[in-house]
Amino acid sequence: MFTFENPQTPIIENNTVVNYNGKIFRIENNVLEYFYRVQDEANGEWKLVRMTGNSASFDWAAGASLVEDTIKNWINRE
């Protein structure tokens, strides 16, 4: 879902817009310092996802993967 210029620090850029299966999501980074906010643009519903994947380490790729999973699961629950 995401392509990064620098795979060593795969941080999703602030205000990234994703169209996934016809639904639009906006992603903000650095919310409460270490979270992504993933928002469904259609209804304003949002979820927080850790930017680093977990609180014990800085695994930015894990955080980006969690954002992808969050968006995919959002679509699948409907």
Q: Looking at the predicted structure, is the pLDDT value of residue 64 above 90? A: yes
Predicted TM-score (pTM) of the model is 0.88
Q: Domain count of the chain?
A: 1
> Which residue did the predictor score with more confidence, 48 or 2?
48
Can you give the residue range of the structural domain that contains 71? 20-76
Q: Residue 77's pLDDT band (boundaries 50, 70, 90)?
A: confident
pLDDT given for residue 3 in this prediction:
81
Res. 39 pLDDT band, cuts 50 70 90: very high
**Residue 7 within a domain:** no
35 inside domain = yes
Least confident of 25-29, 51-55, 66-70: 51-55
56 falls within a domain: yes
Give one DSSP letter per residue of 29-75, joined into a string.
Answer: EEETTTEEEEEETTT--EEEEETTEETTEE-HHHHHHHHHHHHHHHH
